[in-house]
């Protein structure tokens, strides 16, 4: 089980703080985002824009980062007035 924590607009749109997903072992963050987009349609467009940050176990990650059973992934939208980071 992987826990995906949602912050700010992700949380507001999804109307929940987290999503728990069963995924295959050693899935890349990019593939996990596809699962999240298909599971929670209210945040699909935000994820598709590819803006914000992703953290795995509280460390900034990229789309190639592997996630494993028990990991915690955080979706953090861009903050206005700061540097825009793009999912890479």
For 8-20, write each residue's pLDDT tens digit.
999 999 999 999 9
Sequence ranges of the domains in the chain: 2-76
Look at strands 2-6 and 18-21 and give their pairing: antiparallel
- Band the pLDDT of 85: cuts 50, 70, 90: very low
The Cα 68–Cα 77 span in angstroms is: 23
For 32-71, write each residue's pLDDT tens digit.
999 999 999 999 999 998 888 999 999 999 999 999 999 9
Classify domain 2-76 by CATH number.
3.10.20.30
């Amino acid at each position: 089980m992987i826990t995906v924590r949602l912050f700010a607009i992700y949380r507001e749109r999804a109307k929940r703080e987290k999503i728990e997903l069963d995924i295959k072992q050693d899935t890349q963050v990019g593939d996990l985002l596809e699962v999240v987009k298909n599971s929670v349609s209210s945040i699909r467009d935000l994820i598709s824009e590819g803006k914000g940050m992703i953290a795995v176990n509280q460390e900034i990650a990229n789309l190639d980062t592997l996630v494993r059973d028990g990991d915690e992934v955080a979706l953090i939208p861009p903050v206005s007035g700061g540097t825009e980071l793009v999912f890479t």
